[in-house]
């Protein structure tokens, strides 16, 4: 059914929150109420303005890790001390400190330090700045198997807490997030709350993210630069894949080449992102990385009535689907639609044994609730679809096989509700390039 979609931005100005709305004509849908939004304040033991908070880590290159954290004060060094035994820190690295302004908000001091080389599949203990608080993380394995947790459109509600709890129990190696993190929507203190909410997980395993529409935070006349908070707070290793932008990048982990694309930056064939993707895919060595996984935000395949007809979906698909198909990409994860849907292997809207499996997993738990209405009849290429919150686990077992499982947040338990064995396209003779 066609209708007017109303998009709104909450603008934080002094103590006043102003809501600005505009409308587009799109397909309409209704969502059930979400669970309540939560705000995570400074912890009670944050007795010093140099106490680290919002700690998260991300992989850099093959054997390094970026440690990111925020302090209220700059009177603490951007230094990480680390080692493989608790209480013993034989290594040290120093990085950079930055901050940003958004309307009247000034961020805390954002510290980024790259440490390494590190051993694979190893537990490291670390200290931040001059704080005595010890953290730890485990590096991903350098060889298969590897286990990814996948969750999009997280937000910060009681559903998000449930999703994070389930992911935390999964013994995952790395989290992949296809956009829409905090749902701060210009209220910058919500970015701080989100950082504190995810810290228990994100400080222990690398969180590799790309951005969604909720990261844009551009306000006509008032704040013209997009992605200010996202780029400052969630710096990803784009330089390592010769990308010129934090909005798209790639990396190798174990035997998987992961590509993060930006749905809300230019993607046409003249764009820097397109040229970068073309170059990046041409360099993939399937001997080293037999699996290729791509993350976007707005899904290219979607039979939910939510978010139909958006340019970030159909124009990006029209521009880039050929590139992914010709490179034999195995999997494309998307978010944006707050539900779960798995398609068969597809190319140009038809089942194709050499095309990627497309999966929408925008059901992390955000405050906007679920997208419950689906097109009827179900397209043949859509295999499984359900509007429930949850998360996915991609267990890449070896060069040829991976197990994908979607876990629904049912009665607060992670119920495995959709599961499929995938075969890498690099191992299928008919799909050989
Ligand atoms: Fe979105």
Neighbour-count burial of 138, counting CB atoms closer than 10 A to its CB (0-12 exposed, 13-18 middle, 19+ buried):
middle
CA dist., res. 45 & res. 196, Å (int): 13
CA dist., res. 126 & res. 113, Å (int): 12
Taking a C-beta distance cutoff of 8 angstroms, is the pair 241, 280 a contact? yes
- Output the pLDDT for position 416: 86
The CA 307 to ligand 1 mean position distance, Å, reads: 9
- Output the pLDDT for position 75: 84
Question: In this predicted structure, which of 11-20, 85-94, 227-236 has the lowest mean pLDDT?
Answer: 11-20
pLDDT greater than 90 at residue 49: no
For the stretch 177-190, pLDDT in tens is 999 999 999 999 99
Q: Is 336 a catalytic residue?
A: no
Taking a C-beta distance cutoff of 8 angstroms, is the pair 114, 324 a contact? no
**Cα dihedral: 139, 143, 146, 152 (round 10):** 70
What domain range is 159 assigned to? 146-431
For the stretch 280-317, pLDDT in tens is 999 999 999 999 999 999 999 999 999 999 999 999 99
The CA 6 to ligand 1 mean position distance, Å, reads: 14
CA dist., res. 38 & res. 42, Å (int): 13
Q: What is the CATH classification number for the domain harbouring 401?
A: 3.60.21.10
Tell me, yes or no, whether 134 and 150 share the same domain. Answer: no
Residue 20's pLDDT band (cuts 50, 70, 90): very low
The CA 212 to ligand 1 mean position distance, Å, reads: 5
The CA 334 to ligand 1 mean position distance, Å, reads: 9
* Choice among 56, 111, 166, 307 that is catalytic: 307
Tell me, yes or no, whether 132 and 212 share the same domain. Answer: no
Total domains in the chain come to 2
Per-residue pLDDT averaged across 106-121, rounded?
A: 98
How far is C-alpha 43 from the chain's CA centre?
25
- Whether 108 is in a domain gets the answer yes
CA dist., res. 124 & res. 394, Å (int): 24
Per-residue pLDDT averaged across 196-217, rounded?
A: 98
Q: What is the CATH classification number for the domain harbouring 81?
A: 2.60.40.380
Tell me, yes or no, whether 75 and 105 share the same domain. Answer: yes
For the stretch 326-343, pLDDT in tens is 999 999 999 999 999 999
CA dist., res. 405 & res. 400, Å (int): 17
Tell me, yes or no, whether 124 and 152 share the same domain. Answer: no
Tell me, yes or no, whether 63 and 179 share the same domain. Answer: no
The CA 154 to ligand 1 mean position distance, Å, reads: 10
The CA 4 to ligand 1 mean position distance, Å, reads: 17
């Amino acid at each position: 059914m066609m209708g007017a979609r109303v998009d709104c931005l909450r603008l934080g100005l002094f103590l006043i929150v102003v809501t600005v709305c505009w409308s587009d004509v799109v397909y309409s849908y209704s969502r059930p109420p979400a669970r309540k939004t939560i705000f995570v304040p400074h912890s009670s033991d944050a007795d010093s303005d140099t106490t680290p908070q919002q700690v998260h880590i991300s992989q850099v290159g093959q054997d390094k890790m970026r440690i990111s954290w925020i302090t209220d004060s700059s009177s603490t060094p951007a230094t990480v001390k680390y080692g493989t035994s608790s209480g013993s820190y034989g290594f040290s690295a120093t990085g950079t400190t930055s901050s940003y302004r958004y309307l009247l908000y000034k961020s805390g001091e954002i510290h980024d330090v790259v440490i390494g080389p590190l051993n694979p599949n190893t537990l490291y203990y670390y200290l931040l700045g001059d704080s005595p608080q010890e953290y730890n993380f485990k590096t991903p394995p350098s060889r298969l198997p590897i286990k990814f947790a996948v969750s999009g459109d997280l937000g910060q509600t009681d559903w998000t807490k449930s999703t994070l709890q389930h992911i935390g129990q999964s013994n995952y190696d790395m989290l992949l997030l296809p956009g829409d993190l905090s749902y701060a929507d210009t209220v910058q203190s919500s970015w701080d709350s989100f950082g504190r909410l995810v810290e228990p997980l994100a400080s222990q395993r690398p969180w590799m993210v790309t951005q969604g529409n909720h990261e844009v935070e551009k306000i006509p006349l008032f704040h013209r630069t997009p992605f200010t908070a996202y780029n400052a707070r969630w710096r990803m290793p784009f330089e390592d894949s010769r990308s010129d932008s934090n909005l798209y990048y790639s990396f190798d982990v174990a035997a998987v080449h992961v590509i993060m694309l930006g749905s809300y930056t230019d993607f046409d064939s003249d764009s820097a992102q397109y040229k970068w993707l073309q170059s990046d895919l041409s360099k993939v060595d399937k001997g080293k990385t037999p699996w290729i996984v791509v993350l976007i935000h707005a899904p290219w395949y979607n039979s939910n009535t939510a978010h139909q007809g958006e340019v970030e979906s159909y124009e990006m698909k029209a521009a880039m689907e050929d590139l992914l198909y010709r490179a034999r990409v195995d999997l494309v994860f998307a978010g944006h639609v707050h539900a779960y849907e798995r398609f068969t292997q597809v190319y140009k809207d038809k089942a194709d044994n050499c095309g990627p499996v497309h999966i929408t997993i925008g059901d992390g738990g955000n405050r906007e609730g679920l997208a419950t209405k689906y097109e009827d009849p179900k397209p043949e290429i859509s295999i499984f679809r359900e509007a429930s919150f949850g998360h996915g686990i991609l267990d890449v077992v070896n060069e040829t096989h991976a197990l994908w499982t979607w876990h629904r947040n049912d009665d607060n338990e992670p119920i495995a509700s959709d599961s499929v064995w995938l075969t890498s396209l690099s191992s299928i003779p008919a799909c050989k390039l």
